[in-house]
Structure 1
Amino acid sequence: MMAEQTPEQRLWSAVLAQTLYDMQEIPKPGKIKPRHDGAFPLSVRGWQAYMRSRDFQAMCALAEQDPEYVARVANRILRDRDTGSLVKKYRLTMG
């Protein structure tokens, strides 16, 4: 049985989960349009670079999640992002 997460771990798990949900909103190539505020959404390449960053590693550590597993889930979300909510299909212990 897994130990209950601390409030800080639950917070970082929620941040990580939101990051994965946000990945589902990246438009397919050729369909990228500015958001209502004029900014462009982060691209697939941008997310993939982020997943190699120290910030991503730190976020996973703070959420007590395996960064390699989270990156595999994220890459699958990026590949299949138009198939609905994929985050729920994966066993990430999100608080």
Structure 2
Amino acid sequence: MASSDDDATAEFRDLTDVKVALVAGLCTVALTLSLKYGAGIEVPFIYRLSPLAPYFAYVFSRGAALSARTWMALIAAVTLGTFGFFAL
């Protein structure tokens, strides 16, 4: 039988996963819209999904080495890097 501490830890982990997923989703949508409507550039679909690469790394590593805040910053950095590569 699980203790209440285990339940609290699981709920915190779930909330952290949702936050990282939300950042990845928002960055993906923002990248697509900013490239298409902001910069007026048509970019192949695979490059528009680049913010999801660090998210999948987070999911498959279960965030082992880095904190959730670091993973979210990495997702944002990949998004900005992709935008910079195509827009500048």
TM-score in same-fold range (> 0.5): no
**TM-score category of the 2 structures, normalised to the smaller one:** 0.3 to 0.5
Asked which structure has the greater RCO (Cα within 8 Å, sep 6+), the reply is: 1
Structure with greater helix percent: 2
- TM-score, length basis structure 1: 0.36
- TM-score, length basis structure 2: 0.38
